[in-house]
Chain A
């Protein structure tokens, strides 16, 4: 068994009760062009946030001040964005946020082969804090959750592993990992994407492990060459098989996996409306994000804004309905934006029309262009990739994914 080195200086500090390990290395290929250059947790959300802001803010709001962020796919943006963790109050003398990329070791060098392997390779990091519990999180969900309640639940149930579950409509249950539990919330059976689900308790991909047990299973998993080193596929089933105390922690509240364009769009729309499904204005559970010195938004003489969420540095002269507008966006006179999500620094020029679309950063939709079609008639969301230039009078068909400039003719 590999023996891990504990850094002597930090051992002088008191131990941490729990630390979080945030899996942020996935590509998120079903977000298509949005994740060409950045990993899914770095994708913009809710006009001024990035997806990872929600998990990081949950950590600090749950009094977890030590977070390892495991990166692998396109880490540049995340490294830069998270920085020293100051925007989330995660710049700490002992603890704080740490980016953990795959690394070269003396005897073994590997990419993160799976979620479990990513944590396995960072056992040294976890040992350093001498914590009793490890919270495993993924950086691609939108929700507000107090992890400290879940940890207390884990302790009270004397669990080896606690898995947060949310009740989903039974007809959608086959898209999730489903937990079958007894009357004491003890998990008796786990099925990954079952054809005939026996319950509607879906795993949220949030685990609390007692550290010793986690290490034990990670190490034996690493020794099994047939394992795909994944929590859902390997660690959880093998703990169940061996009779570990596995508890389902019922979560009631808003939770959304934003893994597809549709779910990303829906989650954005969940923030608006008279009684939004997800309350982002909640001052008791603030979501923090990195700020870039944006001045207040300017709303012009001819602007028409209904049911929308707009942030700093935006200038609106046109019409915005049911949309989310990120920082630095310009919406010119006569432009019309409806049912859309527009990421930072885009320009929607005069008389351009954008409907039922997601537009990535730094896109220019030139005069009189038409992107997408009304939500009622379009089958799919239209996506314009980062930095794309659409010349005057461009027409982008509903449902199209545009990654290259349109400099002449339609598409």
Chain B
């Protein structure tokens, strides 16, 4: 029967508060033409998953606009397909839930009825290209109750949203803890979990009964020893977004051919996104572009270096854009210079402005601002 997907769209948004002011973590733009959820959706679809539920909480208009009926990911289906779960007011005071677990409580009927053997649950604050069918095969081979996809490496303090794991030779997770310490080298969860369908339903029902609130603490950590919990090592590129600095660095990493290879050039594992019918990008007579990642629909008359340009960006004459990320429909006038700048959608920078930020603190300009 295969697996069904569940994506948490509003996780850890404070990490990118500037970018999530008017959107979900899942709809944060990345790498020239994508939103973070494109990676989660594409990974699921490319692994044969055809039912995906997206749990939302707030600010999800941009997400709904982006995913639409799901057709751009081949998820517009008669059976299953893409299902958006708006907040479900089951609490007495009708307040919005605060955790993944509360989100799952709101979709109990989906957990019960989805035609699937397992659920693949994932956060939306990362980008990677992973063959999840291998994870599910591993899960089945180990007869696991829960499989957690993990990475091995040295992490910084800002990975505090991911658990650290102890995994034995057979792949069994023998211990886990919520990561709170600074920089160290370890095995850490990617926040992709595979859980058997009936088990997830039982765990969530049980948690409701005793008023538990945390998915990681009450469902995963509490059951490390009582359930068959396994770790699947993912050795590909994994981009985690825990700060604006990381957001900037992760975008710049796509300028590395190895990263592009891993993220975008896996046979049969393309990353899909909303189709906008942009025209091809037009380079003018005096354009000079080096080491940049550029989406369709741009018009470039000036100079662009080490930058990421989203769809529909205009760089006018005698303008220099360096080390910057210009999101959809950003328009720069003439004689502008930008260095270490991130512009959100629809920003207009008029003639003769010179803006720059620092590598560790890129200068961020909010959606729709005109300078």
Interface residues of A (CB under 8 A from B): 46-48, 86-87, 272, 274, 280-281, 286-289, 291-293, 295-312, 320, 324
Contact = CB atoms under 8 A, between A and B. Distances in A.
Interface stretch (B1-9, B214-222, B295-303): B295-303
Interface of B: 31-33, 71, 255, 257, 260, 263-265, 270-272, 275, 277, 279-297, 299, 304, 308-309
Contacts of B282: 272, 281, 308-309
The 5 A-B residue pairs with the shortest CB-CB distance in the complex, in nearest-first order? A293-B270, A296-B32, A295-B264, A311-B280, A47-B280
B283 A307 contact: yes
Contacts of A324: 280
B275 A305 contact: no
A47 B296 CA distance: 11
A121 B198 CA distance: 57
Contacts, number: 100
B277 A287 contact: yes
Given A47-B280, A48-B279, A296 B289 contact: no
A289 B31 contact: no
A90 to B, nearest CB: 13
Contacts of B279: 46, 48, 280-281, 287, 309
Q: Which of A272, A281, A286 has the most CB of B within 10 A?
A: A281
A296 B284 contact: no
B280 A274 contact: no
B296 A311 contact: yes
A324 B280 CA distance: 9
B284 A312 contact: no
Nearest to A323: B283
A297 B281 contact: yes
B285 A305 contact: no
Given A295-B33, A307-B283, A311-B281, A48 B275 contact: no
A47 B275 CA distance: 16
Given A274-B284, A299-B293, 15 more contacts: A46-B280, A47-B280, A48-B296, A86-B71, A281-B299, A288-B277, A293-B272, A296-B294, A298-B257, A300-B290, A301-B290, A306-B287, A309-B283, A310-B281, A324-B280
Given A86-B71, A286-B277, A305-B289, A295 B260 contact: yes
B280 A309 contact: yes
B99 to A, nearest CB: 34
A287 B278 CA distance: 8
Nearest to A307: B285
Given A305-B289, A309-B280, A298 B255 contact: yes
A310 B283 contact: yes
A48 B288 CA distance: 22
B327 to A, nearest CB: 13
A295 B280 contact: no
A118 B326 CA distance: 50
A305 B279 CA distance: 17
A295 B296 contact: no
